[in-house]
């Protein structure tokens, strides 16, 4: 039962937090004049990478599941994932300037 509750919690976190951040990012891109049709997938993946890192390093320890596999991501892996997420966030404005 705890595993099912944790799975529902993960889905809610991704849906509410991820959806809200994607919406805000899409509006921010529109405000600065970026074609969101072409490049919005980069922001989508960037946000969900950040949510994954946040969940693995902080949120999984406050949930219902207490079984195996509750380890933090190694520091180097967290840094690389966060860096790739930042790059994915910054790429749409750069690509829009280059190709338009």
pLDDT digits (tens, 9 = 90+) for 2-21: 888 888 988 999 999 999 99
Q: What is the pTM of this model?
A: 0.85
Nearest residue to 51 via CA among 98, 18, 81: 18
User: Which residues does 45 contact at the CB level (< 8 Å), separation at least 6?
Assistant: 88
Q: Categorize the per-residue pLDDT at 78 as very low, low, confident or very high, splitting at 50, 70 and 90.
A: very high
Q: What is the DSSP letter of 33?
A: T
- pLDDT for 86 equals 96
> What's phi and psi for 35, nearest 5 deg?
-70, 105
């Amino acid at each position: 039962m705890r595993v099912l509750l944790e799975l529902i919690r993960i889905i809610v976190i991704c849906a509410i937090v991820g959806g809200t951040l994607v919406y805000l990012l899409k509006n921010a891109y529109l405000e600065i004049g970026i074609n969101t049709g072409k490049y919005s997938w980069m922001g989508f993946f960037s946000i969900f990478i950040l949510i994954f890192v946040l969940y693995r390093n902080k949120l999984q320890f406050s949930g219902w599941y207490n079984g195996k596999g509750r380890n933090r991501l190694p520091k180097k892996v967290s840094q690389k994932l966060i860096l790739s997420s930042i790059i994915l966030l910054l790429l749409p404005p750069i690509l829009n300037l280059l190709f338009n």
